[in-house]
């Protein structure tokens, strides 16, 4: 009789198969939610890092372009829509080249090249002449001899897990050649 009571008491304390299945399912659901939140947070941190890197690269390129173009003597005849060639302040040739295949924007002077922008999807420019009156309007030109103002636009992007997620907004700069 005593032995029978102990078996009945211990049999009641265990979990049934249905209870075990419900507990495992609930645990897996909680783990799936935590895993998804972890992935989302990691992607967000990578995206923030990408935005910062893209912004710093654009700012650095803009600083170099502004400094160089303001000091040039003249814009030389254009060979392509992906290249600007200047006669620099010291008489040397200064070239800026956009390579759409490699997605790079490069500065070249005295045989030394420096990549200013990587993962650059779009790079364009427009030439303007000095205004001829007291207005603040700029007039488009294709003549490099009258060009005194250069408007530059570019757009760079990065990928996260093979998807183009980060896109830096289009950077626009209007730079006046002072000489």
- Domain assignment present for 90: yes
Contact 119, 103 (CB under 8 A): yes
Greater confidence, 67 or 166?
67
Q: What is the pLDDT of residue 98?
A: 96
pLDDT tens digits, 96-113? 999 999 999 999 999 999
Contacts of 156-160 with C-beta under 8 Å, sequence gap 24+, read 156/54, 156/57, 156/58, 156/117, 156/118, 156/119, 156/120, 156/121, 157/54, 157/119, 157/121, 158/50, 158/53, 158/54, 158/119, 160/43, 160/46, 160/47, 160/50
If pLDDT is split at 50, 70 and 90, which confidence band does 55 have?
A: confident
Q: Is the pLDDT of residue 124 over 80?
A: yes
Q: What is the pLDDT of residue 7?
A: 54
- Domain assignment present for 53: yes
Instruction: Give DSSP secondary structure letters for the chain.
Output: -HHHHHHHHHHHHSPPHHHHHHHHHHHHHHHHHHHHHHHHHHHHHHHHHHHHHHHHHHHHHHHHHHHHHHH-SEEPPP--TTEEEEE-TTS-EEEEEEETTTTEEEEEETTEEEEEESSEEEEEEEEEEPPSSSS---EE---TTTEEEEEEEEEEEEEETTEEEEEPPPEEEEEE---
Total of domains in the chain? 1
If pLDDT is split at 50, 70 and 90, which confidence band does 53 have?
A: confident
Greater confidence, 165 or 22?
22
- Domain assignment present for 97: yes
Greater confidence, 68 or 45?
68
Greater confidence, 125 or 168?
125
- Domain assignment present for 128: yes
Q: Using a cut of 0.85, tell me whether the model's pTM lies above it.
A: no
**Which structural domain, as residue segments, surrounds residue 64?**
15-176
Across the chain, mean pLDDT equals: 85
**Token output for 172:** 């626009």
Over range 66-80, report the average pLDDT.
88
- Domain assignment present for 84: yes
pLDDT tens digits, 141-177? 888 888 888 999 999 888 777 776 666 666 888 888 8
Contact 147, 139 (CB under 8 A): no
What is the C-alpha to C-alpha distance for residues 148 and 171, in angstroms, rounded to an integer? 20
Q: What is the pLDDT of residue 169?
A: 61
């Amino acid at each position: 009789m005593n032995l029978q009571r102990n078996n009945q008491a211990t049999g009641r304390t265990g979990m049934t198969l249905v209870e075990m299945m419900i507990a495992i399912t609930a645990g897996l659901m909680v783990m799936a939610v935590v895993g998804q939140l972890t992935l989302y947070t990691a992607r967000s941190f990578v995206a923030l890092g990408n935005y910062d890197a893209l912004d710093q690269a654009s700012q650095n390129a803009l600083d170099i372009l502004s400094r160089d173009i303001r000091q040039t003597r003249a814009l030389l005849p254009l060979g392509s829509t992906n290249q600007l060639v200047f006669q620099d302040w010291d008489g040397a040739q200064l070239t800026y080249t956009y390579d759409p295949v490699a997605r790079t924007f490069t500065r070249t002077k005295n045989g030394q090249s420096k990549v200013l922008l990587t993962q650059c999807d779009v790079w364009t420019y427009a030439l303007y002449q000095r205004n001829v009156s007291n207005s603040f309007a700029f007039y488009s030109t294709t003549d490099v001899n009258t060009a005194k103002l250069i408007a530059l636009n570019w757009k760079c992007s990065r990928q996260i897990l093979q998807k183009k997620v980060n896109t830096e907004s289009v950077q626009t700069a209007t730079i006046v050649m002072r000489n």
